Structure 1
Amino acid sequence: MIKMIALDLDNTLLNSDKKISAANEAELKKLHQQGLEIVLCTGRPINAIWHYIEQLGLDGDNDYTITFNGGLVVCNNDKKSIFKRGMTRTSFQPLYDYAKQHGYPLDILDFSQVYPITDLKPSDYREMLKGNIKFVPTAFNDLPDESYSKGIMVADPAVLDHAVANMPAEVVNRYHMMRSQDRILEFLPLNVDKAYGLGALLSHFGWDFSNLMAFGDAQNDAGMLEKAQVGVAMSNATPEIKKIANDETVSNDEDVVAVFLQKYFK
């Protein structure tokens, strides 16, 4: 029985204008009022998507969000975490060395802010994110000794393709590397993805993946679509994601969530 619905944001729940349509909003609110858990799953921190949480009314004591692509599970009401997994500053040394050698930008995120690494090529991540999160430009060796959620490279798709193709094993084997968008390459702790965070949240409720429905479109959604009882790919999803999902629906500009949910729960 489906008890939880997990939703990627960009190019899934959000349309091309980065908005939740009225039809999607109404359907999710209806199911939430009927007792289903509605969980937004994102690579961003919760404050960067708070307006979507408010729009959907997901601010109760039992409402949660998967943030940092599974590295942090947060209770929406009090912003306290029920699950967290990060990395040390020294964990990023091989990635920093590779970026410096090849002239790539790098942003490193803790669980509340972004550190654009100033002794590397300038990054466009701030302009791409456009979210409510603090940016603290910092040289790599001056990063505080604390827990970090992930590293991010932002570049043209062809540049990232080249970076991935030529990445040394020391880097590849140290992180869970994923392409969340064409211009964004993310480096998370090994084995951490949205499914990892959802597994922790499902256990919190005493449930498992047989109780999960998930919607997504890109590489960083692969784990949750594969493990969910119902994994739904958008028609605008990548070919790889469509192969992983066990169902497919319309595009993110066609009230995708409402269309599928109305049909499924009919």
Structure 2
Amino acid sequence: MAAQMTDAHRRFLQVLMSHGIMEGSEARKLHKCCCEIHKVYYAHDKLDHFITTINSHLQPLFMQIRKGMSEGDGRAHYALVNLAETEITKLASDYAENELELFKKTMDLIMLSENGFASSTDILNLADQLKTKKMKKKEAEQMLKVFVENKWLSERNGEYTLHTRCIMEMEQYILTNYPDTARKCNICHTLAVQSQVCESCGTGMHLPCVRKYFKAQTEPRCPQCNTTWSCDIPGACLRDSQSPSGTWRAEKSFTLSAR
């Protein structure tokens, strides 16, 4: 039998729903705040257990709070994902047909690139090639801002990649539709868009996973085929290109209806 949902669980879920995705440290603070407000048992190392209880009640709704990793810096994130639809059409309710087509074509550029990024120039050049309805470049520029605000894309110096939320939400769709370029990280076993790949066997790893795995090795070797790793090992500090914007608030005045 599933553990009982408390008002602390409901508050946590509602705040996460309003953000879509939350960085791990923020989720831990929110966990503590919710437990303190509703005077329920709190343990700093029980966040995942706390979320498991919520997920047991979300299961009939085909929803799940999923834990993932930012490809920019390796930090943990938590996102509420829809399991009922794995197709990109789950975005259709939020965007017009040509906006959705622009997103699909942007994803194509990112997934077919060597580094997991697409330049704004290349994306904007697609605006007048859309089959549904052509866009002006200014309209396309505005849509890119919307995709970033809604945490489907991340932007850094005019280069776009998939946001952590998008990767977590669309993982199965991406693996199915980009079989030649999409791969799971050999270390953490989640989808790797920005990655390094072994030239000998094709094993891929996230950049943060590469850094951690080879940290203590004087001669880095592929964990799969044991050949010398030919790529440069990323430095200790990777810029966080995908940290979600915004902050959460869980004021005592915020109430949730009991179920």
TM range (shorter): under 0.3
> Larger Rg: 1 or 2?
2
- Structure 1 or 2: more strand by fraction: 1
TM-score, normalised with respect to structure 1: 0.27
TM-score, normalised with respect to structure 2: 0.28
